[in-house]
Structure 1
């Protein structure tokens, strides 16, 4: 009999925590699942601890270190269940996590859902919700509202609570292998174009935050770069009708049948964003239009936007500023 749920648990050098993570899945109140453990080339004792388990529900994968996106993609590709639950090797699923998400998604016909975390530190001490308000600030269900919220303010989903039908994953690699910080954010943005993505108002996991990872200059710089690369492409292949529905005041009737105007208005949407790296993507696009005679003329005649307006936009952000979105 095939499992209803495939739990994809990815890990890298998490020997201190991996046993608690595995045990939290094996002790779930929901029984018909498989546990796919993907070790992304750990060099500590993670592999040894994984090998101590002989439970028939466990499938073990030991691969070379290629990052969390690659590990997640491998696990998803091996999944036999109709549903996939994500899990990290340093987190702890609460006993009814799978039961709650399975019943919720099926009862309300959702293709994907998330839950709320209890945030803990390396020693299992609870961290106050107030320290990470992003996870508790918005429970919008409508995919249009979710996309708008993600686009304008960044990620607010707790990735290890993700629970979704495998058949909604259309790409071979749903998580960007080139991304280390924001691989899940790009996936949620893509899925929110099509699906409602509710957050169940219930604590489903203990989500571990490591002190040495929270405020790293390398992480912040990498995050800005990854954000920029994601936003360069996120509006591609989105129709005028869809974008007009999500951002009704941003897209004019004139741009519905004029591809050049449509591209300009997408760039203006990026320019309006307060996230530094996203605004820069808009500036880059307008830079190219300013240097194209036809597009420059459209900017001027149809949008009353000229060189001086562009220079105002490029001067808005100090190069030393760091936005803290998606930390």
Structure 2
């Protein structure tokens, strides 16, 4: 059995795909398959990938269906003992497979999480999020379960590219990325993490995330409309896995904050559309058993956002309401 299946979804990635693929071929451990899912690219992406003469590369061409569907197609045919993900504008450090696979095999982990380093115009940088600084020294060199991370679960990086997964584990829990939306990493992370029984961390930088103008988080555009459905899926994951009560306080704050920050920063032409998506979501929440939990557990800023959305009839009215000061009536 191949040790690692690397799944690389790509859409119009001609500027960066060659370096991404080369970082896989240059690995110190060569027992892998690279599954490149060309998600309807209209540039020379497919030709660039086809130009690599290496039997370990599998190129799948499909109509554009989005990153979640592309990753799921890769998972369908993956045959490695472990699975790793690579974004088309990033790259692996040359010993990433050897170190990650060594950790996963030694400790028989469902998920092992490693560090990411950021790259921007020739400069490398680190941050707490990608450096796993929320995991103190008591988590190093041992196996742990997800509930040991209860106090900082929502401060863990959700990036699928920062983990190595046991493929058998993913198959057993039927792990799939949400399709048709962006921010698909987030629900996938929480679903797999909560299902895992054996987790470990690797305090080594094994992956380089490149910042550039086309990166998904560099411009707050229409993609951020998907913070609403992603949050809805997240709630379902916690409820269906009997984890809602345990994580209620932080879960509700996390769900509110995604669309709240998106509405603050999204391009002006999308603000009314995003407001209406949030409004529809909150009106639906009023009809569930969880409505009172929002009112009773949100902090003042998030409580005001939640109630101002419900009190307003359109975005302009909401903006007027939200500019006034008030406190939760508790």
Q: TM-score range by the shorter chain?
A: 0.7 to 0.9
Select between 225-234 and 11-20 the one with higher mean Cα deviation: 225-234
Summarize the alignment of residues 189-268 of structure 1 with structure 2, pairs less than 5 Å apart. Answer: 189-195=190-196, 196-213=198-215, 214-218=217-221, 221-239=224-242, 246-247=246-247
Q: Which residue of 1 aligns with 2:304?
A: 316
With structure 2 as the length reference, what TM-score do the two structures score?
A: 0.72
Give 1:273 deviation, angstroms. Answer: 5.4
**2:160 is aligned with 1:179:** no
Residues of 1 paired with 2:114 and 2:297: CA distance?
A: 43
Give 1:66 deviation, angstroms. Answer: 0.6
Residues of 2 paired with 1:11 and 1:203: CA distance?
A: 23
Residues of 2 paired with 1:109 and 1:135: CA distance?
A: 23
Select between 186-195 and 275-284 the one with higher mean Cα deviation: 275-284
**2:27 is aligned with 1:28:** yes
Indicate the SS of the match to 1:201: strand
Residues of 2 paired with 1:94 and 1:75: CA distance?
A: 22
Residues of 1 paired with 2:125 and 2:107: CA distance?
A: 31
Summarize the alignment of residues 121-160 of structure 1 with structure 2, pairs less than 5 Å apart. Answer: 121=120, 123=121, 125-130=122-127, 133-136=128-131, 137-139=133-135, 141-146=144-149, 149-150=152-153, 152-153=154-155, 156-160=157-161
Residues of 1 paired with 2:302 and 2:125: CA distance?
A: 38
CA contact (8 A) 1:7 1:34 kept: yes
Structure 2 gaps, min length 5: 261-277, 309-317, 323-330
Give 1:313 deviation, angstroms. Answer: 9.5
* Aligned residue-pair number: 278
Give 1:212 deviation, angstroms. Answer: 4.4
Residues of 2 paired with 1:59 and 1:71: CA distance?
A: 13
**2:247 is aligned with 1:276:** no
With structure 1 as the length reference, what TM-score do the two structures score?
A: 0.72
Larger Rg: 1
Give 1:98 deviation, angstroms. Answer: 0.5
